[in-house]
Structure 1
Amino acid sequence: MLIIIALLWCKKDIRDSFYQLIKTFFHKQILTVLGFAVVWTSICIVLFYEIGVWSTDNLKTTLVWVITYAFVTIFETHKIKSSKYYFKSQIKETIGLSALLTFILELQSF
């Protein structure tokens, strides 16, 4: 893997594209949206912790969810204009059977 990365790093156009990707990711607007997502998630975690639904045992699952679902969903918001049923599909996905089972199974250790 390191050899492939080193070979790709030697190509100027790939290296320049990588720099542009990093520069774009750290754009003020993107960081603002991601910051709001982190704040919102943190508020939810604190509230759930206070009512006894969330514990530090759920940290790994929470981080995986934030990275795989929440941040990906943020970058799919452009579909709101083009899809008539965007919110309906997001609600179904959020409260779907697999999400519900994961949540219930993660509440208790077996």
Structure 2
Amino acid sequence: MSDIWTSITNREIAAVFWFGVFLAVVLVGRDTRQGLAGVLRAFFNPIIVLPLTFAAIYASGEIYVVGKFGWWSLANLKTTVVWLVTFAFVTMFEVVSAKIRKGGLSRITREILTVATVLTFITELQSFPLVSAWQGCRAGHLAFQRPI
């Protein structure tokens, strides 16, 4: 368990902080609160939850097996969760559009690998100071403000 705590960096602290700020802003407004409730109802629809549950069970089984060989430990938990969210679950949602889109599977695979690679770099390889995260958010907020 101490492996997990030692792997937490400013990046995770900043992510939790900004998620809390975002959630607080959403919950303050009545319209946004009702919108969040609708999104959660739609997400927990059995059509969506069932495949995600099967994918989570499958991933847990794989983790158990590779853990038995000594190829996985709790120190890999953060990377595993990031990979599951960015690659495995996004792939499940992209498969639905594979029939409609031109380029099909190869284009979807390229897009998913790009997203997974960028997010893995941001979350695992490059650590940004907490102050830089704050300054980046302020700069983004100032860039998108509308002139009065």
- TM bucket (normalised to shorter chain) is 0.5 to 0.7
Secondary structure of residue in 2 paired with 1:75: helix
Q: 1:50 to 1:5 in 2, by over 3 A?
A: closer
Residue 18 in structure 1 maps to residue 36 in structure 2: yes
Distance 1:72 1:95 in 2: 10
Distance 1:3 1:93 in 2: 30
Name the residue aligned to 2:53: 35
Of structures 1 and 2, the one scoring higher in RCO (CA 8 A, sep 6+) is 2
Task: Compute the displacement of 1:80 (Å).
Answer: 1.6
Distance 2:83 2:25 in 1: 33
Report the AA paired with residue 78 of structure 1: V
Alignment of 1:7-86 (within 5 A): 9=27, 11-83=29-101, 85-86=103-104
Report the AA paired with residue 59 of structure 2: T
Q: 1:54 to 1:90 in 2, by over 3 A?
A: farther
Name the TM-score, length of structure 2 as normaliser.
0.51
Name the TM-score, length of structure 1 as normaliser.
0.65
Q: Deviations over 1:65-99 (max 9, x none)?
A: 11222222211112221245433345667889x96
Identical-pair percentage: 33
Q: 1:49 to 1:93 in 2, by over 3 A?
A: farther
Secondary structure of residue in 1 paired with 2:94: coil
Name the residue aligned to 2:5: none
- Pairwise CA RMSD: 3.5
Distance 1:75 1:29 in 2: 11
Secondary structure of residue in 2 paired with 1:53: coil
Asked if 1 retains the 8 angstrom alpha-carbon contact of 2:98 and 2:108, the reply is no
| Structure 2, unpaired ranges of 5+ | 1-18, 125-148
